[in-house]
Structure 1
């Protein structure tokens, strides 16, 4: 059995391309065995063979569509049962182009199923297993649109705000149980998600677009620095702390026995 105190197995969702594939490569380079989850078996197997050859780690593939309840349940159960898994990279997600009014019910359901339901179910399973072990790491991929929803459409932005909130709450629940939790908030990152959502990343100001390797390296550096929230493009961490301080200042007045005088 893997000694999880050294380099536990990492389960990476959405691992066949983009951010997930780079996380898999970087974690393999750090000595982690891998369990790679995505829909595309062929791409997963090609990645697994490459990582095993280059880094000498064990890589297992688990093809699954996490938007499908049966597939999600299989991956969730594996997380609950496999004591070798000590890292979850909750990366799988989709974007959607257009306004909420233009979206179909099917599009909305698909995004919520993957970006919210699957992320939550897998985080819950990991939290249960890692708490029992007294160690583990949960990395949830959110987005800067969690903080600036006007940058993108309603459903996607709201789903990433949910992931940020989920992660911050999980940190409060798990920080004294030996479990690390991190939300990663990338800006525009050059991956296939843009093409799949019907957008052309080439039309975006190149000064706003980060290469995926740079983004993941920054995210892992933030994890090493014990950050709960990592924004790879943010130059000054004090800006995030000021944001949190301003939010916390609202606390004493968020729930009171009477309405504010300005409403009377």
Structure 2
């Protein structure tokens, strides 16, 4: 399996430093959650690792070589990224959208092969979208649309799946559906997942490793029990609260109480 890591990564926009000297190794076959307050740099970090943003200095490495030395098609065969609020023509069917995930692997003539159709069927199946494959995007709920986009990313058959706040704008039920799909992909398919997460409890639910970003720097990183600490969360988000225990499996959850002005 390919290895992705960052060394001394810096991003600067209009002379403003967004990310500073980050060193990160993506853990294979694990779910990594990037957390932090708005403007902390977590989405920029995700895009930089995925080769969408060019670093000002430092490098992202794919198998020991700068990721920017690979072609876009080569990278797309290894990782898929699902941005916030992706867009496609609303008259597209789910199946047509998912077919676009095969683009990096299609032949020069662009026709779909039996292998392509098999990958498309698999992506629709694992996202529970088989029965909706002929539905237009305009006829789907928000949760169904997000599952369709995840299916498109999965159709690329990359080793890595990157997602930028995949549960944003979804109601509670659809948030849980999406998180369950991602967790199942990791546990059963060994898919390596890196995602920006808005809700610390969502990160706690499924992530093996959490990286907390603050002001463009890594504040701390670790597993759920290490990160879900009242003082650490106050440092990350500026919110005071209590750590409570999930009575089903005794995993920690954060209950917010008030804004911290320290």
Q: When the two structures are superposed, what TM-score results if normalisation uses the length of structure 1?
A: 0.35
TM-score calculated relative to the size of structure 2: 0.35
Q: Which structure has the higher relative contact order (CA within 8 Å, separation 6+)?
A: 2
Q: Which has the higher helix share?
A: 1
